[in-house]
Structure 1
């Protein structure tokens, strides 16, 4: 048997607690198990560490030397672990505009635990999650997902109508969700929240204009190529001089998801971020 970290920890704990009983309790092991560990340690080192003729726990000269070196090694290991964990960064994929308050609270809590995050803008964060480019993803639709990804709902977002300033809909009074069902629709196929099927009675002949990211989507809206529906945070976070955002009383809300790969198991840093994110209120 070779010398292991558990031997060092057992010996240092025994010296700090002063008795096998208290040390075993602190280490969550039985007293006989701790005694065997110390005996194994002395056999590995081929020298006595404890003066067993003394009425109380007393170390031999070799034991005192081993104690000093063990404490130094354990301290170095703790510092090394902290340093290495500080270098680890969890890659968070997102298609556009993260939900401000939720993400700020999540990031603060995660960084309080020593974690670091890297934000990675992506046209298709679900695909990037599947191929390992990112560790977790925040998305607004999971239409392209596979069983290899675990998804958890983290909240809902109110949505608004987006139209060109040149569209009659920019000024039309009394608009309702159903009134939009026949208008040409701009669909972001990668990360958008709205398709023709978002209406209860979809028109099979409805015209659609497709794109692959938010930047293309908003320029198509601005050019009056069609209408769009987008989370309401775009009003303040993504203004455009040629786009009007309108609040309608009955636009269905969209769902926000957090995803991660099922296999391999998420790394400890990723798991910590997931646990942190899922405890931050979103609704």
Structure 2
């Protein structure tokens, strides 16, 4: 049997704690599993490293000598991991306006706990960017199903708001009902938008549609009073455009905010980013 890093970590923890139970708690494994791992190491080396009694555990003379060497090996190994992780980069794709403060909290937590860095990549089509391998994970809004083999993690839902030009007849309204939208010309971001004719049952869909291909075109088209738009609440907080007016939208379904990634991407970094994302979403 080959000696692995897990064997060294198990032995050094027991030798340092002088207890299998305390070492198991430190390593977050069961005591029987820890005992087996140390026994495997002793069998592989052909020497007893620990003296076990009913009251405590003590390193043998060979164990004391091996402990010094093992700790040096682990220190060098951990230093190499830290150095490598500081060079690791996770590419986060998004189409427009990352949710705040979720994005800032997630990125800070991820970078502090992993030592890796997050680079931000604005793209009109995050799903296509994933397939082209130009991003590793993407923030996607909307409830459209992600095609296989993409994986999806739901984070939270955003409230929808209506938006119109200040010159629009709608600008004086304090609210608009979801069912009324069909009576207005609707400006749609057909590439990365969260609302379009597909958002209603076929019999109640808006029929007068103006299509745009990205968020900037959508904003300027609505500001020019070519129609109204529907956006998640993030846009209301983050859009400084002086020609726009945001209006409460009643009875509207929320907009899911999701993370999407390929299963064969950098799995450890993705898993840690997902963990940080879910923690930030729940805070």
TM-score higher than 0.5: yes
Equivalent position of 1:270 in the other structure: 270
Q: Deviations over 1:9-35 (max 9, x none)?
A: 56656754679999898793446x745
Instruction: Indicate conservation of the 8 Å contact 2:109/2:276, yes or no.
Output: yes
Q: How many residues align?
A: 270
Separation in 2 of the partners of 1:282 and 1:8?
A: 37
Equivalent position of 2:61 in the other structure: 59
Q: CA deviation at 1:172?
A: 5.0
Equivalent position of 1:45 in the other structure: none
Q: Which secondary structure state, in structure 1, belongs to the residue aligned with residue 135 of structure 2?
A: coil
Separation in 2 of the partners of 1:175 and 1:64?
A: 75
| Residues 1-283 of structure 1 mapped to structure 2, 5 A cutoff | 4-5=4-5, 8-9=8-9, 12=12, 16=16, 28-30=33-35, 34-35=38-39, 37-41=41-45, 58-59=60-61, 67-115=67-115, 116-143=117-144, 145-171=146-172, 175-200=176-201, 201-203=203-205, 206-261=207-262, 263-264=263-264, 266-281=266-281
Q: Deviations over 1:69-111 (max 9, x none)?
A: 4322221101111222232232221111122133333334333
Greater CA radius of gyration, 1 or 2? Answer: 1
Separation in 2 of the partners of 1:185 and 1:264?
A: 39
Instruction: Indicate conservation of the 8 Å contact 2:164/2:227, yes or no.
Output: yes
Please, which runs of 5 or more residues in structure 1 have no aligned partner?
A: 43-47
Please, which runs of 5 or more residues in structure 2 have no aligned partner?
A: 25-29, 52-57
Structure-2-length-normalised TM-score:
0.77
Q: Which secondary structure state, in structure 2, belongs to the residue aligned with residue 137 of structure 1?
A: strand
Separation in 2 of the partners of 1:20 and 1:236?
A: 54
CA gap of 1:16–1:157, structure 2 versus 1, over 3 A, is closer
Instruction: Indicate conservation of the 8 Å contact 2:143/2:256, yes or no.
Output: no
Q: CA deviation at 1:141?
A: 2.0
CA gap of 1:282–1:256, structure 2 versus 1, over 3 A, is farther
Structure-1-length-normalised TM-score:
0.77
